[in-house]
Structure 1
């Protein structure tokens, strides 16, 4: 009997919305995370694991991959006592899709990490300090960078900036602009710690407003809400379908200067909807 793939097995990481962080010192959580609605599961041997438990957490991840598991791993930052060991232990497993590299501050951090990975494995660079923001363009344009993620908690700790939409507006905008300029997928926003329901939906809506296309999640229960908010809405799909139908009825002719951006947006929305398994009128 063929099992239904989980989102983490079928959603391409360049459009993944929910990135579920799982404490790697708790292997009993791994299977539930993989079975959840997370687009990407990230086994965490970095921030959620105390120094004394990092080697054991790494062993748990190795055991998971040896059993045929598939996931991402958030590894310790370049220059720490664990960075090289994390890569040496994990890079050879085909089930490891890539790494989320903590505390990236220069393009070299990404490049050195990418050099130790297998060709199919990717690096998501976590921006968590003021220094990283000052060098953001170089980090985004590094050959090894696949996508950028916002380490919100550590960034606030480093800068003293409040957890407020307006206070963090510049930072979020810069992450999106740098990603776009470097030809990367939309950046991954930081998590809404402890948020559920409407509060989480509002946080994810804020993520979307700033052009960020993914969000870190801390529990499996956060993933469905994040996925819903970061997906094309019913209104989006209705508008895109209507515009394309009208455009095709007009023999695919550009009629005004606004048609070109509308055409691109409508196609992007419908492509995303199909990729996320959302029903699109007229599409099988």
Structure 2
């Protein structure tokens, strides 16, 4: 099993940008997203894959003073394009901070990818996109692969496969299973994108709801979604104030029964308060 040390505050927002638009790469880096992901998969047509692959290479060289991580989503591992993407990665002098693997269905395919990379790149960090019933069924073992630092929910592909709509109720089971698998392995879970670009209020509300489920972040498909996502992940002033009172009371307690705001306080309540305060500092 993984450990809690694999969790990170830097999986709040993952902004996708098409690999065919190098003019947007630096804009994505300056968007405020925790991760700027160049996408070789869904955002690139089949006839443009080779050109896109050539354009992304220079994006991963050098260092930045800003904390945004650079990521690359490659194509499905068992496809011709996925194989070409792996060959490109093998030739890179410097890997992306994170490699996003789409349509992951088993731990074995992730392990196989890491074994292919090992001769050139032993240290690799992976976000595994869970987008199918099989992937969801195997999410627990996928999450425990050492190189996997985060699971992400591909809600659109998942709903298409199971034949559901994308309403909250229809996706609740999938989201819950994915969060549970990530929590068991001590890694983060990122929710899929909200597809309505001009509905900021609903984006905030959905982000608040997935945060309450246990997700640490959300995928963004436009820079203007970053701020609402971070806002939705931030604890409310009431929740933060309560957490601070819990921690203050716990620190001052000398072994007696501890009650804060009419609520019995035990260690899980204290741990939740610690997470709330920590989240407020990072958002």
So what's the TM-score if we normalise by structure 1?
Answer: 0.85
Residue number among 265, 268, 273 corresponding to 1:261 in the alignment: 268
Q: How does 1:182-193 map to 2 (within 5 A)?
A: 182-185=185-188, 187-193=189-195
Write the distance in 2 (CA, Å) between the matches of 1:254 and 1:114. 51
Write the distance in 2 (CA, Å) between the matches of 1:56 and 1:254. 67
Q: How does 1:1-284 map to 2 (within 5 A)?
A: 15-66=10-61, 71-91=70-90, 92-94=92-94, 96-115=96-115, 116=117, 118-185=121-188, 187-195=189-197, 196-251=199-254, 253=255, 255-256=257-258, 258-274=265-281, 276=282
Write the distance in 1 (CA, Å) between the matches of 2:203 and 2:233. 12
Contact 1:114–1:122 (Cα < 8 Å) also in 2: no
Write the distance in 1 (CA, Å) between the matches of 2:93 and 2:75. 18
Write the distance in 2 (CA, Å) between the matches of 1:254 and 1:48. 58
Write the distance in 1 (CA, Å) between the matches of 2:178 and 2:194. 18
Give me the CA root mean square deviation: 2.0
TM superposition shift of 1:68? 5.1
| Greater shift in the superposed pair: 68-77 or 125-134 | 68-77
CA shift digits 1:243-276 (9 cap, x unpaired): 111222224x4635732112111112222322x1
- Higher relative CO (Cα under 8 Å, sequence separation at least 6) belongs to 2
Q: As a proportion of its length, which structure holds more helix?
A: 2
2:3 maps to what in 1? none
Give 3-state SS (helix, strand or coil) of 1:72's partner.
strand
Give 3-state SS (helix, strand or coil) of 2:51's partner.
helix
Q: Which runs of 5+ in 1 are unaligned?
A: 1-11, 279-284
Give 3-state SS (helix, strand or coil) of 2:235's partner.
coil
Q: Which runs of 5+ in 2 are unaligned?
A: 1-6, 259-263
So what's the TM-score if we normalise by structure 2?
Answer: 0.86
CA shift digits 1:188-241 (9 cap, x unpaired): 111011233112112212221321111110001001110111122322221111
The alignment covers a number of residue pairs equal to 263
